[in-house]
Chain A
């Protein structure tokens, strides 16, 4: 009844090619953005439920936004271009450490040539974006094997990136500015003279980033490049025969995906963690991101958000339930139970809906179109 596009006529090509051609979708998105940009900060400022403590903002919304951004990046590569990557954690780390180095000043002494490369400390925003750029370059380098290797072989090959960079950031003290403990602190967050300190400010910052990148990604995958990626994903040989260059399509997918993941990594380190060590970007992070993308739905930007929310919130809920119910279990048993329930839910979801939440959403839309009539 409410969700029906009857009577919405498209009279121009621009209208026909809009991101959200259905008016109800636009309204829903507007409301969502309104809540995210105005509602949440307002509620949080006045400490109205559920924002009476900073827990929700700090422990759920902030990591959700950043990981959803990373999930969009992974989705570009895995969902749209069909190249399975288990190295996303490494690209997050590259983004984070490059941004850190650029933010604190780079000094490379080239003794052989008799001079040194020195870059003065950059402001936060350029260093985050350049961190993403470094991740993109690394992504292109580690994407080159994808031209020969496919499928699960490629997945294992990308693990090389994961383990190599884990080791690099752990063992090469230059990246951590010779910090004795190996953990580094983010520089002061300063955007055009505005200091970003409180959870609300950090939340808004991440929200702006993810909104911009989600719109960019959505438009990219709708366009020429995205269609090339999808052709490669669906069948690479056939795509090549109709004139798509696999080299260009695959490497751009690696570059765009790694750039987004790198920016997310820099945000994760700078805005969420504050101080971090290489362990924050281990293989577990890569698997977590891949789960988000698959549970959310391969090849769906919206799905990345839902997947990120699900994978992030599920363990927190599982952790809360026993204490809320007052079941007397040792913390160890609870951890193991969490493992079992998390694993079972993943398997259950994969069996029930192998195409993820995105497919559920589109089924829901179809149902809503007919509602309340069954035909």
Chain B
């Protein structure tokens, strides 16, 4: 008999870590929505943003800036780096590849991944750098209800909080601003959007910038959790099933997908892993995604795929 307390702890821990996956998945969704590009480079962008942030922070603190100023300046610097990256990608890779098929665009983002990984590590160094922006200790809840209480990481709570703000902000941006409307128009139909005078390259720059900033946010949380290092790029692979379950075009889907993957993964690992050997976290999310796709080929929240001849 599994104790209720343990189950709740695993469930809550899973849901919370799922939100952290959603942070990475959001970047994918943004770019896919606006340009139909499946951006494999999101993980590398998280690495780049994290390295830029942590290295500039270290430097600023060493120069004697107060911590709050250093954090603001560091985040500003990383944001500028992401803006430059977005511009370069739009100008030199995605721009010239307009109207190519999805597979070519996907492969070009793998090329971008290589470039970003190499450049980020060459410029900012390739060690593991610790980042301490958020508290990493834990709370124990309901100690009077369950023996030992329920362990809850403060970092995960922060992650959920930030993800909530991010989603709200993106929703307002997409629904209420002029650029957001233009973005939705471009996502609907490139040619039609162009013909009513929407500057498509500017829109794509904005999208890549937004994805870069989401990567920066993800980097602050994940950098605190794991330290900023090369293995952070594998987050992209962790975020893919989240994306697929939620649907490639849905921002709320990315969050719900994160919940499902996080909770499912942890529950499977704890309660199933002991029977069939550990480490099933590694593939469980993908098999879950496969199962969801068999029922709903466009993901839970994705737009219905309509095919015409």
Contacts and interface: CB of A to CB of B under 8 A. Distances in A.
Contacts of B122: 333, 336-337, 340
Interface residues of A, number: 48
Given A171-B277, A294-B104, A332 B126 contact: yes
A57 B61 CA distance: 54
A346 B297 contact: no
Contact of A343 (B100, B114, B277): B114
Contacts of B279: 167, 170-171
B96 A351 contact: yes
Contacts of B280: 167
Interface string A157-183: 101100110110011100000000000
A237 B243 CA distance: 26
B118 A343 contact: yes
Contacts of B102: 151-152
Contacts of B294: 145, 148-149
A171 B284 CA distance: 14
Interface in B197-256: 237, 240-241, 243-244, 248
Interface stretch (A20-28, A36-44, A217-225, A283-291): A283-291
Given A84-B103, A156-B243, A287 B110 contact: yes
Nearest to A152: B38
Nearest to A160: B286
B253 to A, nearest CB: 13
B309 A156 contact: no
B115 A350 contact: no
Given A152-B102, A351-B96, A238 B283 contact: no
B267 to A, nearest CB: 18
Contacts of A347: 92-93, 108, 111-112, 115
A344 interface: yes
B106 A155 contact: yes
Interface in A302-316: none
A351 B107 contact: no
B110 A346 contact: yes
Nearest to B286: A160
A55 interface: no
B283 A167 contact: yes
Interface in B113-160: 113-119, 121-122, 126
A333 B65 CA distance: 30
A163 B92 CA distance: 33
7 contacts: A153-B244, A166-B283, A336-B121, A343-B116, A346-B111, A347-B92, A350-B100
Interface of A: 78, 84, 145, 148-153, 155-157, 159-160, 163-164, 166-167, 170-172, 235, 237-238, 241, 283, 287, 290-291, 294, 298, 332-333, 335-340, 342-347, 350-351, 354
